[in-house]
Structure 1
Amino acid sequence: MDDDLLLRALFPPSALPETPEDAAAPGERRVWRVAELHHAVQGALDAAFPPVWVEGEVSNLRAPASGHLYFTLKDEAASLRCVLFRAQGARLAFRPEDGRHILCLGRLNVYPARGDLQLVVEYAEPAGEGALRLAFEQLKRRLAAEGLFDEARKRPLPAFPDRVFLVTSPTGAAFHDFVRTARARFRPARIVLVPSRVQGAEAPGDLRRALELAGEAARPGDVVVLARGGGSIEDLWAFNSEEVARAVAACPVPVVSAVGHEIDFTIADFAADRRAATPTAAAEAVFPEAAQWRRRLTDLQKHLAGAAARRLAAAGRGLDALKGRLRDPRRRLLEHRLALDRARARLREAARVRLSAASDRLARARRRLEATDPSGRVREARVALRGLALRLPRALAVALAARRRRLEDLAAHLEAVSPLAVLGRGYSLVVRLPEETLVRDAAGVAPGDRLRIRPQRGQILAKVLETSDKDPGETP
């Protein structure tokens, strides 16, 4: 078979270059050098096969010290050598392993040293998960654009839930882990199992109906928990369905999503009011720890007792301060008397000053009169002086009388408010001995009690013979 036939057998006609002008004439033999043939084949491969996706099972995986990965992709009928250079391998989210089905994107290449056809891999992902991941991201973006995942929609969990509706498989480990943790943390926990399939083609519809049933039975103070153990993306795919996400968002009470393990995220996680990494973590988030609340209650009781003691102490200090500010009425009476004496003294001093000033004016007038010595003015002055001399004592007497009346009024008012004046009208103060408590009512004493009676002057010691709650004017 000549070279042209060889290339046409290997590649489609569209991938082959046109026959060069200097090609050998028909019947002549064209001899290729090995490198030239490799170069021609590589050119034909580049033209016919741009970067391609290849699916197969990994085998013969080698990882030398260089960091590159060498492996073979195979299926039931053929195999293809592959190389993944270190730079491209560092960007992968997973590491290829023998026996794992993967999808590879790369360019076909002929390795000159051995003449082997190989795939130079630029990107790889686990087979079967790529399409699921794409569907996951598309649904996530669409529901997020609708506001289904907004933080403003998230509702807080009640501190002490009344009932918890657990939507899960009754035979799975998630159910037993959740119940065991809930009973350990909060023994009065009320858990209502809403059974549902959590895997398979029928699981999304089952989960939606279970969530709707739990929402219809729930009331304020309840919580719904959506739980499942870990698994592959295919195992958890029921929780990535749109109908489950919308059922979670429509639930009238808070929903906790506990699907898979910490590294697993589902659409239901984003739609739920709270995500828990595992079913055990969900039980810890929903139910309070009884021992912790008991410790907190004890601390609050101690704090309350301390606050009450401090309030009582402060009130006692305030009472002592008020007692210190109370004054004896006799002391106030004495202060008023002293003030009255000072007022009298100021009045006398004012009168003296005015008389002295008048005398000084009279003396000055006499001196001026003597200096001028006009007879007529002297006579007039004498008459005026006699008139002033007559008016001055009267005016002084009137002024002194007015001041005296004012002083007497003040003294009478002071005497009227004095407790001693009240005693002077026949009233007495009665105190019970030995407490020295004032007796205001007959019910405050009993026969045999000793009393001290304080009239206006002196005191009387007495002993109670009989008491009555009737006033003296009332009929027994």
Structure 2
Amino acid sequence: MSTAESVYSVSQLNREAKRLLAAHFMTVRVEGEVSNFSAPSSGHWYFSLKDARAQIRCAMFRGQQQGLGFKPGNGDLVVVSAQVSLYEPRGDYQLVVEHMERAGDGALRQAFERLKNKLLAEGLFDDSRKREIPLIPRQIGVITSAGGAAIHDILTVLRRRFPAVPVLIYPVAVQGDAARFEISAALEQANRRAEADVLILARGGGSLEDLWAFNEEMVARAIAASRIPVISGIGHEVDFSIADFVADLRAPTPSAAAEHAVPNQTEWLSGFQFMENQLLEKLRGQLAQQRQRLSWLDKSLQRQHPGEKLQRNAQRLDELELRLQKSARRTLLQAEQQLALNSQKLMQFQPTANIFQHRRTLDFYRQRLEKAMSAKLSSLRQRQSGIGQTLHAVSPLATLERGYAIVKQQSSGRIVKSAADIAENELLETRLAQGRIVSLVKKVIPD
């Protein structure tokens, strides 16, 4: 290779150095003290790790910070898992941090996992052994620090949600060497005194070391031995302790533990109001049904009452009377119409009109006859006089003049000769010497 070919540019050299570092070092764990920490608006962290003799630049990008649980500061002693790299624009040798934990947490984590696996194998985490939390406890026991923020948060939530339940506080240390003994003793004392229906074991947030009292085996076994249900509310939502696994119910925070201990009185009051409204609605429905049934029975009784029957019969009688009146009026109207019709027919066939017409004809022919028979009139007048007297003697009109009458059936025009020929309610026409009479037969009396 010539001399010209062995010359690198600065960027080429930095790139090759970065490749060599990445190929030689996989993920490394480094312990050191944080210094020069900065967190710009991008969300990435930039800092240095140092010990007594050296330091190295570090970068931890925002995506790697999820689930970390704490934000480091200058002076913190941490252990990082990182990729060895080089920042090409400046040629700075650096660590790209993938994970971070406080120094000392590693040993605690191992102890945590060992105890967790041991108790898991013994069945202390099984759901089958966990006790049910009472719906409304008669009294709540709280095991926590008397001066910490946790007790304030718990009491605030309990007063807001269900202030009627009294609270008994068992003050204990929640951090330090004595904490495990005080917590275990408080659990035993609460069970011995049996004053509470449920126990809240709580502590505010902190590091793994701060929360270590709740990862002690004696505390876990005291929770498991408790006859009173235990709700754990230790640290923040991301914090898990051995006590959380053994407790009958794990809450993410002390405030959440208080919320699980008692119901919400507002929801209960709303539920009671809803049930009251439902009960009233059902009672109103039942009352309406009974009122309707009573009304039906009353109407049924009224229908069977003698006065009701008399009233119905009276109404029926009135209806029949009205029907009779209508029928009588209808019959009378029909009779009047029939009478008018018969009268019209009678007027069409009245003999007087025919006689008048024939008389005119007769006068015409008489005039002719008088002229034709003027000679014979004298001889025939004497004969006519005799015949006229004879005719008058046998004429019906002469009989009528003597007080007799001619009776005919108006419907058929036949002369009535016997009472048996007519019927009741039949119309008869009676011819008198002067005029006619139309009559209605009321009764027939045979000889």
Q: TM-score, normalised by structure 2?
A: 0.53
Question: Which is higher, the Rg of structure 1 or of structure 2?
Answer: 2
- Paired position in structure 2 for 1:9: none
CA-to-aligned-CA distance 1:152-181 (integer Å, 9 cap, x gap): 333332222111111112222222332343
- Inter-CA distance 145–291: structure 2 relative to 1 (3 Å threshold): same
Contact 2:174 2:213 in 1 (8 A): yes
Contact 1:88 1:122 in 2 (8 A): no
Q: Does residue 1:203 correspond to 2:167, yes or no?
A: no
Query: Which residue among 146, 152, 163 is the counterpart of 1:170?
Result: 146
- Inter-CA distance 85–185: structure 2 relative to 1 (3 Å threshold): closer
Amino acid at match of 1:198: V
- Paired position in structure 2 for 1:182: 158
Secondary structure, counterpart of 1:282 in structure 2: helix
- Paired position in structure 2 for 1:224: 199
Query: Which residue among 276, 283, 307 is the counterpart of 1:308?
Result: 283
CA-to-aligned-CA distance 1:97-140 (integer Å, 9 cap, x gap): 54332213467789999998766766543322222233323333
- Inter-CA distance 320–70: structure 2 relative to 1 (3 Å threshold): closer
Secondary structure, counterpart of 2:143 in structure 1: strand
- Inter-CA distance 260–89: structure 2 relative to 1 (3 Å threshold): closer
Contact 2:235 2:252 in 1 (8 A): yes
- Inter-CA distance 88–135: structure 2 relative to 1 (3 Å threshold): farther
Q: Does residue 1:272 correspond to 2:247, yes or no?
A: yes
- Paired position in structure 2 for 1:215: 191
Contact 1:61 1:97 in 2 (8 A): yes
- Inter-CA distance 147–118: structure 2 relative to 1 (3 Å threshold): same
Deviation at 1:319, TM superposition (A): 5.2
- Inter-CA distance 46–63: structure 2 relative to 1 (3 Å threshold): same
Deviation at 1:192, TM superposition (A): 1.6
- Inter-CA distance 306–156: structure 2 relative to 1 (3 Å threshold): same
Give distance in 2, aligned partners of 1:268 and 1:172: 19
- Inter-CA distance 181–49: structure 2 relative to 1 (3 Å threshold): closer
Identity across the alignment (%): 45
Secondary structure, counterpart of 2:219 in structure 1: helix
Q: Does residue 1:55 correspond to 2:31, yes or no?
A: yes
Alignment of 1:26-41 (within 5 A): none
- Inter-CA distance 214–66: structure 2 relative to 1 (3 Å threshold): closer
Deviation at 1:239, TM superposition (A): 0.9
Amino acid at match of 1:155: R
- Inter-CA distance 300–241: structure 2 relative to 1 (3 Å threshold): same
Gaps of 5+ in 2: 1-6, 307-447
Amino acid at match of 1:250: A
Deviation at 1:307, TM superposition (A): 0.8
- Inter-CA distance 189–55: structure 2 relative to 1 (3 Å threshold): same
Alignment of 1:24-423 (within 5 A): 53-61=29-37, 71-75=47-51, 77-84=52-59, 89=64, 93=68, 97-105=73-81, 123-218=99-194, 222-318=197-293
Deviation at 1:205, TM superposition (A): 1.4
- Inter-CA distance 255–52: structure 2 relative to 1 (3 Å threshold): same
- Inter-CA distance 320–289: structure 2 relative to 1 (3 Å threshold): same
Secondary structure, counterpart of 1:270 in structure 2: helix
Give distance in 1, aligned partners of 2:122 and 2:187: 21
CA-to-aligned-CA distance 1:247-287 (integer Å, 9 cap, x gap): 11221121111222333222212221222333333333223
Secondary structure, counterpart of 2:35 in structure 1: strand
Give distance in 2, aligned partners of 1:54 and 1:213: 46
Aligned residues: 296
Give distance in 2, aligned partners of 1:302 and 1:120: 65
Deviation at 1:207, TM superposition (A): 0.5
- Inter-CA distance 249–60: structure 2 relative to 1 (3 Å threshold): same
- Inter-CA distance 224–306: structure 2 relative to 1 (3 Å threshold): same
Deviation at 1:48, TM superposition (A): 11
Secondary structure, counterpart of 2:32 in structure 1: strand
Give distance in 1, aligned partners of 2:126 and 2:32: 41
Give distance in 1, aligned partners of 2:246 and 2:234: 13
CA RMSD of aligned residues (A): 4.4
Give distance in 2, aligned partners of 1:186 and 1:88: 42
Q: TM-score, normalised by structure 1?
A: 0.50
- Inter-CA distance 170–303: structure 2 relative to 1 (3 Å threshold): same
Secondary structure, counterpart of 1:56 in structure 2: strand
CA-to-aligned-CA distance 1:45-78 (integer Å, 9 cap, x gap): 9999996543111223578999987643212x21
- Inter-CA distance 49–307: structure 2 relative to 1 (3 Å threshold): closer
Contact 1:55 1:127 in 2 (8 A): yes
Deviation at 1:309, TM superposition (A): 1.7
Deviation at 1:226, TM superposition (A): 0.9
